[in-house]
Structure 1
Amino acid sequence: MKKKYSYILPTLLALAVALGIFIGGKLHFNDTPEKLFSTNSKKDKLNRLIDYIDYEYVDEINTDSIVDVTVNNILGKLDPHSVYIPKHEMEAVSENMKGDFVGIGIRFNMFRDTVTVVRTIKDGPSYKKGLRAGDKILLADNDTLFGRRIPNSNLVERLKGKAGTKVKLRVYRKSEERTFEVTIKRDVVPIKSVDANFMLTNDLGYLKINRFAESTFKEFKSALLSLQKQGAKKLVLDLRDNPGGYLGIAEKMADEFLKDGKLILFTKNKKGNIKKAYATSRGSFEDNPIYVLINERSASASEIIAGALQDNDIGTIVGRRSFGKGLVQREMDLGDGSAVRLTVSRYYTPTGRSIQKSYEKGHKDYYQKFMERYSSGELISVDSIKVADSLKFTTPKGKVVYGGGGIIPDIFVPIGTLDEERIESLDSSGYFSDFVFRFLEQDRSRFLNYPKHEFIEEYRVDDIIFERFIDYLLNRNLKLDFYGNEEKIKTYIKANIAEQLYSPNLGVQLKSGQDQMLNKILDLDTEVMQIMDEALIQSKD
């Protein structure tokens, strides 16, 4: 997604600032509508309507909210991905896409009405000052943070601030039964795009990316280099559940796998202008096997990479059909702190296919079609995927690929059972994490000197913890076949303990053994190695 400024729309939201006051002072409200609207300008009509409401309407009205509704209604007539970002949401959206924020660098829970540290971000301000998981923050600059219900958003505001400013915290450490004060200087804290990177086998690396922010490519390169140093000659690039982000970041990442001169994608705007993006000679993984994991929630930039590799006959796409977003947005400032992300072009994969699904019947139908994948059987069988012959394309090596609604993988992996998907959902929704946090809070001392390698090899989630987790879910009216999925549940409990004690990376690594797609890749990789070995033996004979 390219971030530029518009010369067309900023006037639309100037309604909420000085323009209304300025025009209001100039207008004579006894003028006739014919005189006021003589220019017949669409923008002028909107501006004047807001002024009429501001100065003449019988009741006090928040015209800012009217403007927000108006803008959303206008965008609602366009495609589903042209969206309005209100001023109060811009900071969070910008932080997410930039890939960092200014704060003290902790992840916390509100536990028994007290801010409790779940984990400090490595090398962040709190990490450097010695804060630990389990520490309870009682005061921040004499503001009480315990004993009352405070919204998380308010707590975040009190702990965040400008870079270089300081906040004095009063902290209670249960493990040492002491209270102490620490002053922390706020600093830039990264929002990680790379969830995990580790070795699956001696030569097969794994790298999972959750979005395409400004910082993503730098993180990706660092993780890839680390895997190569560990012996990775093959790579699994996990783009499942990745909603996308900046187009340019996706182009740079695809360049790592494509040889110089290969087409990555091209875009076409309203005027028919075409812009092509080609790979360069800078790629560091061009001649190595790569597997790309996608699912029904992989969108936008994730689909650009999958499509670029598939259309260039590079690597193997594994999983389920992707979301189907082939539109490019540009962020445009509206002058009052808000912005609009407006679709400015479509993108096409190297063979010329658009993977954007139809939105002609409106937004509701657009998202309903996505939900229909669950009922149509598409997520269970590749044969249930409906494709049109008119959208058939052929890669340079003769492989048939299709446009119109997502990237269809080379190797299909069906969705898990209903209970398996429920477990995944419970994990992504934070139930495992919350249970583990409460479990650790009972007695963190048992894990204080637990070496990571011993935890990986020796620690087992026993039946007592398992039963406690069942009670935890039942008390929240959540049910599934617990005993039929005992192994997976115990694995996820252990993985969440590992995440909170050691790192998110280790948590993902421990879950990998229960991952159907990863197991499929390991089987594929083994088959390829066997074929290569047989070919080598035959050549010697």
Structure 2
Amino acid sequence: MTEKKNSKRQIYLPIILAVVLVAGMLIGRMTSPSGNGKSGQRLMMYPEAGKLQTIINLIDEQYVDSIDTDQLVENIIPDVLKKLDPHTVYIPPKDLEAANQELEGNFGGIGVQFSMQNDTVLVISVVSGGPSEKVGILPGDRIITVNDSVIAGVDTPTNEVVNMLRGDIGTKVNVGIQRRNKDKLLDFEITRGNIPLYSVDVSYMVTDSIGYIKVNRFARNTYQELLSALAKLKANNCKSIIMDLRQNSGGYLDIAISMVNEFLDKGDMIVYTEGVNSKRQDVYANGSGSCKDTEVTVLIDEFSASASEIFAGAMQDNDRGLVVGRRSFGKGLVQQQFPVPAGGALRLTIARYYTPSGRCIQKPYENGVEDYYKDIIHRYEHGEFFERDSIDVNDSLMYETVGGRTVYGGGGIMPDYFVPTDTSDRSEYYYNLREQGILYQFALEYSDNNRSELSKYETANELKGYLDQQPIAKMLTDFASQKGIKFNRKEFQVSKELLKVEAKAYIARNIIDNEGFYPIISEQDEVLQKAVELIKSDADSVLQTSANTEAEMEQDIAATEMEAAAMN
């Protein structure tokens, strides 16, 4: 019992001190008298605030130089919290709005996607029905001024441009636009509107029967986006769904639960949570899901975390679908956000979550935050990205799925089918083009110069058909040479196909967004190709079994007819 109490004290004492620190400062400032009393008297002035607040007050009133004690408090809080777990964090007031927008799924803005090209903001796409489309902004336009401030040609940081264009819904912003074939600057007054942040990047049919959905986070609107994506695929006779959760770091727990519910039968466990101050809560599927009979495959990698792992774990533990890829991140902690005085918020870990088999997949964090996040680097150096046998499996954390398969806890979700990272087509020349942004710049310039022709094509297949006839590889290498990247024929041959596919995919993204990008880039996606192969092989085996059964039935019928004829 003593050990447990000590542990509890170690966890909550720093938080209590941080809260007391902030509250005590307010109380101290309202009650402290003026004057220069003795230090001993001052220590008695704040007995309710404790040592930490006493120190802050002494610094505020006695330190040799002027100190911003509010900023001092802001600096202290993260130091206090890092003694807990890596996911308990303090969000300062200046960052809170952006942090909430990411998960709430919307913000106030003008509704354009842009990129910086030669120190100029180039509009890549315009949100359909958004504020910019309503006033006539077009893809390919260049934003030269914002509210009379020139932003072109002055190396304005991207984040500053974003801050200038975003703002409260209903407020106005004036932009000066340079358009091709127009000599004069075009002036537009745009009323900022509610701009959605989509978390389902794309949904499309990979084959005649296999659908694909890419989810980048579990935000407030993700479930509704998923339902729309599922309806779209089902309208195209989808029989099997690939849920791509790679690079998805998580989000809202309740959204993940709603999404899992679409695939499980009534009574199947989805997840349960438990903490010292949080009673165990079991969550089960209610049987109302729309995809209970649809085959599902989940793609994960080392950056799939939290809600992504809840989804993958529920599919795996219920033997509902295959998990394909590489071991996931390993975040099994649940956070709740609390407001704090004077702005800002505390995202506090309140519980652990467990997959249906009882696994807590949280990886260790006893060695500190830095070591915790370097775990991905350690995995790479250990060879885990290339060989499944390199994964350190803890045999003491073995669990069983509903069907009796062995799964492991203690550090992420292990895939049912491991797909290694393939670097055989990566050369130094390829990495130079990637790292210096040459691929992206080329695609941007090519799209801009050929927009009228490219815009004729509405689907990825149509656009790819056109691009396949163009000398994209030659144009890319010429462009790279102009940018100072020396051509290396041997290394180019190693990466030629990869470079062509990536260049075409980026061009397609500039013209028809992700609906163009993902179908083309999938040609070089080993994990997705493996998933399709597994789904097809399973379907083929079912078809083969069915064919064999029919053949056996025909043989039995023929034998029966022969016996009957012999008897007659």
TM over 0.5: yes
Taking structure 1 as reference, are residues 177 and 456 closer, same or farther at Cα in structure 2, changes over 3 Å only?
farther
Q: Is the 8 A contact 1:419 1:480 kept in 2?
A: no
Q: In 2, Cα distance between the equivalents of 1:526 and 1:90?
A: 46
Deviates more, 1:195-204 or 1:436-445: 436-445
Q: Tell me if structure 2 keeps the 8 A contact 1:85–1:339.
A: yes
Question: Are 1:508 and 2:518 matched, yes or no?
Answer: yes
Q: Which residue of 2 aligns with 1:207?
A: 213
Which residue number in structure 2 is paired with residue 14 of structure 1? Answer: 22
> What percentage of residue pairs aligned between the two structures are identical?
38
- Which residue in the other structure is 1:341 paired with? 347
Under a length normalisation based on structure 2, what TM-score does the superposition of the two structures give?
0.87
Is the contact made by 1:135 and 1:173 (CA closer than 8 Å) also made in structure 2? yes
Mapping of residues 23-62 of structure 1, within 5 Å: 23=31, 25-26=32-33, 30-33=37-40, 36-37=43-44, 43-62=49-68
Cα distance, 1:427 vs structure 2: 6.4
Counterpart position of 1:159: 165
1:138 aligned to 138, 141, 144, which one?
Answer: 144
| RMSD of equivalent CA atoms | 2.9
CA distance 1:478–1:314, change in 2 (3 Å): farther
Q: Which residue type is aligned with residue 438 of structure 1?
A: E
User: How many residues were matched structurally?
Assistant: 533
Aligned to 1:180: 186
Cα deviation, residue 124, structure 1: 1.9
Q: Aligned-pair distance for 1:88?
A: 1.5
Whether 1:321 and 2:321 are equivalent positions in the alignment is no
Which residue in 1 is equivalent to 2:417? 411
**Equivalent in the alignment of 1:531:** 541
In 2, Cα distance between equivalents of 1:480 and 1:252 = 51
> Does structure 2 retain, via aligned residues, the 8 Å contact 1:311–1:349?
yes
Tell me if the contact between 2:169 and 2:193 (Cα under 8 Å) persists in the aligned partners: yes
Query: What is the CA–CA distance in structure 2 between the aligned matches of 1:18 and 1:419, rounded to whole Å?
Result: 61
What CA deviation, in whole Å up to 9, does each residue of 1:303-347 have, x standing for no partner?
Answer: 000111111110100011101110111112112221121111111
- Within the candidate set 242, 246, 257, 1:251 is matched to 257
Q: How does 1:12-411 map to 2 (within 5 A)?
A: 14=22, 19=27, 21-23=29-31, 25-26=32-33, 30-33=37-40, 36-37=43-44, 43-271=49-277, 273-411=279-417
Query: What amino acid is aligned across from residue 358 of structure 1 in structure 2?
Result: P
One-letter identity of the residue aligned with 1:117: V
Higher relative contact order (CA 8 A, sep 6+): 1
CA drift at 1:105? 0.8
Range with greater deviation from structure 2 (147-156 or 348-357) = 147-156
Instruction: Give yes or no for contact 2:251–2:306 (8 Å, CA) kept in 1.
Output: yes
* In structure 2, distance between residues paired with 1:29 and 1:262: 68
Structure 1 residues 432 and 395 mapped into 2: Cα distance closer, same or farther (>3 Å)? same
Structure 2: how far apart are the matches of 1:9 and 1:201?
A: 58
Return the alpha-carbon distance in structure 2 between the equivalents of residues 427 and 332 of structure 1. Answer: 41
Indicate the larger mover: 387-396 or 58-67.
58-67
Structure 2 SS opposite 1:261: coil
Q: Say whether the 8 Å CA contact 2:433–2:485 is kept in structure 1.
A: no
What corresponds to 2:530 in structure 1?
Answer: 520
- 1:485 corresponds, among 478, 495, 509, to 495
Give the 3 Å change call, closer, same or farther, for CA 426–203 of structure 1 in structure 2.
Answer: farther
Q: Separation in 2 of the partners of 1:472 and 1:246?
A: 46
Structure 2 residue runs of 5 or longer lacking an equivalent are: 1-14, 553-568
Aligned to 1:3: none
Taking structure 1 as reference, are residues 15 and 270 closer, same or farther at Cα in structure 2, changes over 3 Å only? same
Return the match for 1:454 from 462, 466, 480.
462
Deviation string, structure 1 residues 362-399 (Cα, Å, up to 9, x no partner): 22332333311112121111112111221001112110
The separation in 1 between residues aligned to 2:490 and 2:276, in whole angstroms, is 50
Aligned-pair CA distance for 1:432? 3.2
Q: CA deviation at 1:218?
A: 1.2
Going from structure 1 to structure 2, the CA distance change for 1:448 and 1:244 (only over 3 Å counts) comes to closer
Matched, 1:471 2:477: no
Q: Secondary structure at the match of 1:273?
A: strand
Bigger drift between 108-117 and 239-248 goes to: 108-117
Change (3 A) 1:429 1:401: farther
Q: Is the 8 A contact 1:107 1:119 kept in 2?
A: yes
Deviation at 1:57, TM superposition (A): 1.1
Segment of structure 1 superposing worse, 406-415 or 422-431: 422-431
SS of structure 1 residue aligned to 2:176: strand
The alignment status of 1:440 with 2:447, answered yes or no, reads yes
Q: Could you say if the C-alpha distance between residues 134 and 385 of structure 1 is closer, same or farther in structure 2, counting changes exceeding 3 Å?
A: same
Shift of the alpha carbon at 1:116?
A: 2.3
Distance in 1, Cα, partners of 2:100 & 2:24 = 22
Aligned counterparts of 2:298 and 2:211: Cα–Cα separation in 1: 12
Kindly indicate whether the alpha-carbon contact (under 8 Å) linking 1:16 and 1:64 is maintained by their aligned counterparts in 2: no
8 Å Cα contact 1:37/1:44 also seen in 2: no
Task: Return the TM-score normalized by structure 1.
Answer: 0.91
> Does the Cα contact within 8 Å between 1:9 and 1:334 map onto a contact in 2?
no
2:481 touches 2:487 (CA, 8 Å); kept in 1?
no
Distance 1:449 1:265, change over 3 A: closer
AA at the equivalent of 2:354: Y
Report the alpha carbon displacement of residue 18 of structure 1 after superposing the two structures with TM: 5.0
- 1:286 maps to a residue whose letter is K
Rounded to whole Å, the distance in 2 between the matches of 1:451 and 1:174 is 22
Quote the offset at 1:145 in angstroms. 2.7
Distance in 1 of aligned mates of 2:476 and 2:533: 30
> Which is worse superposed, 512-521 or 134-143?
134-143
State the Cα distance separating 1:417 from its structure 2 match: 0.9
- Where 2:491 maps in the other structure, the secondary structure is coil
Which one has a bigger Cα radius of gyration? Answer: 2
CA distance in 1, matches of 2:533, 2:107: 41
Contact kept? 2:425, 2:494, Cα under 8 Å: no
**Displacement after TM superposition at 1:445 (Å):** 4.1
SS at match of 1:47: helix
1:496 and 2:502 correspond: no
